[in-house]
Amino acid sequence: MSEWSKTWTWIEGKWLEGNAPIVGPRTHGLWLSSVVFDGARAFEGVAPDLDLHCARVNRSAAALGLLPLHRGEEIVELVQEGRKRFDPGAALYIRPMYWAEQGGFYSVPPLPESTRFCLCLYEVPMPAPKGFSVTLSSFRRPTLDSAPVNAKASCLYPNLGRALAEAKSRGFDNALILDAIGNVAELATANVFLAKDGEAHTPVPNGTFLNGITRQRVVALLRQAGVRVHERSLAHRDFLEADEIFCTGNYSKVMPVTRIEERDLQPGPVYQKSRELYWAFAHGG
């Protein structure tokens, strides 16, 4: 295994360097998945919507039966403290996390009072907007009555990992994932948009996927700029017939899709406007 990138983790009043060993074999979060997290980004000296990410991790904790231990504002302050341990302008992934140490009856439900918190910051370069390919996944997003889709919960990600592995086995980079009734929900790693005739369309949040913070930001920025954005049910065929496809997410922010199935696409004007508007917002514009 290659070495970890530069990493600092705050836990229980201390900053630890590297991939710190902070859980044990009996930790409930390790073996029964009572783990939630959030992801924010620092890049080019800015950390857009950091406060919203730090607030959301607390909502995720509550949704999974964990006890939020720190106010969002406190987490923001810890992030700013941690950023000083890296070079100015370093591209960082910012990951606050909660998990349970112990479980309740039969060890399955988490014991809220055993909740622990850490904040992990590590260097990850921002990917260049070169674009990527997508295919339709055979796996689907769960519903709220079958999984905690109202939280950014670690237990949801093995299903997304299956979708990505399947896509890569077919020669694609990412996967369009449907919801339980067959509408497109998102990509395996990000929220998804298409553009048709100069207007943007994106799956309406229906309780099967997270309405991402970057997604919400881009929707608002496009509308403020006079671009019509439709949040509606979308089928796989809508994406096959789109003029443009792009995604929004914390890791890469705004990225174009350059191939869907066997059809090549070019980054188009709605994508370009979305990326330009987001970068201007992130830098205080």
Q: Are residues 154 and 254 in the same domain?
A: yes
Q: Are residues 106 and 146 in the same domain?
A: no
pLDDT in tens, 113-150: 999 999 999 999 999 999 999 999 999 999 999 999 99
pLDDT in tens, 54-79: 999 999 999 999 999 999 999 999 99
Percent of the chain with pLDDT over 70: 99
Residue-level pLDDT at 3: 85
Q: Are residues 230 and 155 in the same domain?
A: yes
| CATH number, residue 90 | 3.30.470.10
Q: Are residues 82 and 216 in the same domain?
A: no
Q: Are residues 151 and 270 in the same domain?
A: yes
Q: Over range 161-172, report the average pLDDT.
A: 97
pLDDT in tens, 11-21: 999 999 999 99
State the Cα–Cα distance between residues 6 and 86, nearest whole angstrom. Answer: 8
Answer whether 58's CB lies under 8 Å from 178's CB: no
2 domain-assigned: no
Among candidate residues 110, 40, 28, 111, the one with its CA nearest the CA of residue 82:
40
- Give the count of domains, the chain: 2
Dihedral sign for Cα atoms in the order 223, 226, 227, 228: positive
Band (285; pLDDT cuts 50, 70, 90) = low
Chain-wide mean pLDDT for the chain?
Answer: 96
**Single residue among 123, 140, 168 that ends a domain in this structure:** 123
Q: Are residues 242 and 277 in the same domain?
A: yes
- Which of 230-234's residues contact partners 24+ apart within 8 Å by CB, and which partners? 230/199, 230/200, 230/201, 230/202, 231/201, 231/202, 231/203, 231/204, 231/205, 232/201, 232/203, 232/204, 233/183, 233/203, 233/204, 233/206, 234/183, 234/184, 234/194, 234/201, 234/202, 234/203
Answer whether 78's CB lies under 8 Å from 9's CB: no
159 domain-assigned: yes
Answer whether 155's CB lies under 8 Å from 33's CB: yes
Say how many Å lie between the first and final Cα of the chain, rounded: 41
**Single residue among 96, 123, 150 that ends a domain in this structure:** 123
| CATH number, residue 264 | 3.20.10.10
1 domain-assigned: no
pLDDT in tens, 146-163: 999 999 999 999 999 999
The answer on pLDDT for 209 being more than 50 is: yes
241 domain-assigned: yes
- Which of 12-16's residues contact partners 24+ apart within 8 Å by CB, and which partners? 12/116, 15/82, 15/85
Residue-level pLDDT at 254: 98
Answer whether 3's CB lies under 8 Å from 120's CB: no
Domain around 104: 7-123
Q: Are residues 80 and 169 in the same domain?
A: no
Q: Over range 260-281, report the average pLDDT.
A: 97
* Pairing, β 253-260 against β 132-140: parallel
Dihedral sign for Cα atoms in the order 120, 249, 44, 284: negative
What does 23-72 look like in DSSP terms, one character per residue? --TT-HHHHH--EEE--EEEBTTB-TTHHHHHHHHHHHHHHTT----S-H
The answer on pLDDT for 1 being more than 70 is: no
**Single residue among 123, 140, 161 that ends a domain in this structure:** 123
Q: Are residues 148 and 106 in the same domain?
A: no
